[in-house]
Structure 1
Amino acid sequence: MVKPGEPRVLVAYGSKNGSTAEIAERIGEALSKAGCATSVYPAREVSGDVAAYDAVVLGGALYSGHWHRDARRLARRAGPQLGARPLWLFSSGPLDASAAERDIPPVRGVRRVAERLDARGHITFGGRLDEHAHGRTARMIVRAGKGGDFRDLDQITGWAELIARELLAARNGPGETEGT
């Protein structure tokens, strides 16, 4: 049950090997802990009607410079509704420490989605690729010793907490915090 003043946030994601799904879950946990009523779903399970939510976080894994198909499809399906509410985007994928060391701009397709839907922000998180990865290319990367887990959980949590603060400030008014 949603408490009065508690923003309802949808966290939707496109994930092939589970890493982006785990990032989305982490974002959802941090948002919930900060005072948001949060639902986390695979993007393919979201009908396109996001009217029940006050804000949306949409993320997708990056493969060969493209955002995951399910994230792209949801952005198209729900475009007008997503553009009418606060929206944040995330990508996951670099298989090195670069995402934790510097801001990585969105790939062209994600940049277009962000501009079209007036997203409030985008971040790229490091990815994870292990021996259970699906797909020939992914298995070749792991066999070549270039797999691993490059997600920075503190970075993910911190980003979600920034979103929660912004949503709660907008809901409660400037200078007020939850419970005042």
Structure 2
Amino acid sequence: MLRKVLVAYGTKNGSTAQIAVTVAEVLHQRGFAAEALPARSVTSVASYDAVVVGGGLYAGRWHRDARRFVRRHRRSLARRPVWLFSSGPLDASASERDVPPTPGVRRVMDKVETTEHVTFGGCLEEGGKGRIARMILRSGKGGDFRDFAAIETWAARVAEELAGAESR
């Protein structure tokens, strides 16, 4: 019986955390005990039946906390269903087409058998941390490109797949 789901995330400015919370809320609405936690704070995944891992993309790389989470828990993740998401394109591309995983995320997918990976648009708004973030904002290329309807639809599909696995 698959009931408890962890949504672990790596984020720098908080927008990936908001996506993770949305995923956990949708899973909760569908009857799962789901919680969103910063990837760096998770010491064990043993009590979870399934895991969703999300990471912000920075210069084409998945957030360090998400990468380290997968590396630390690789063996445990291999024994449960795993979904991955990335957030990052600071344009509408993620809403317009399927954005393939970056090479680093592809390596993560090769280490842990994943059910699916999806890329959502990112968000970088005034106050973003880091020199590169400030440079992007000064150039006028920031903004919020997250599509919460698409995020909720994806999370509902994850819930359906988990429910289907329960009934087998």
TM-score (norm 2): 0.97
Unpaired segments of 5 or more residues in structure 2? none
Question: Is 1:6–1:37's contact at 8 Å kept on the other side of the alignment?
Answer: no
Give yes or no for contact 2:2–2:49 (8 Å, CA) kept in 1.
no
Task: Give the equivalent residue in structure 2 for 1:16.
Answer: 12
Deviation at 1:137, TM superposition (A): 1.0
Q: Say whether 1:146 aligns with 2:145.
A: no
In structure 2, the residue matched to 1:61 is: 56
Larger radius of gyration: 1
Alpha-carbon offset, residue 6 of structure 1: 5.7
Aligned equivalents of 2:147, 2:60: Cα separation in 1: 21
Counterpart-to-counterpart distance in 1, 2:61 and 2:139: 22
Runs of 4+ in 1 over 6 A off after TM superposition: none
> Structure 1 residue 87 and structure 2 residue 82: aligned?
yes
- What is the CA RMSD across the aligned residues, in angstroms? 0.9
Unaligned runs of 5+ in 1: 174-180
- 1:110-149 to structure 2, matched below 5 A, reads 110-149=105-144
Spell out, residue by residue over 1:10-45, the C-alpha distance to the aligned partner (whole angstroms, 9 max, x if none).
000000000000000010001111111101100000
Say if 1:6 and 1:35, in contact at 8 Å, map to a contact too: no
User: CA-to-partner distance for each residue in 1:19-74, whole Å, 9 max, x for gaps?
Assistant: 00000001000111111110110000001x21101100001000111100000000
- Distance across 2 between alignment mates of 1:88 and 1:10: 10
Q: Which residue of 2 aligns with 1:29?
A: 25
Provide the rounded CA distance (Å) in 2 between the counterparts of 1:106 and 1:43: 19
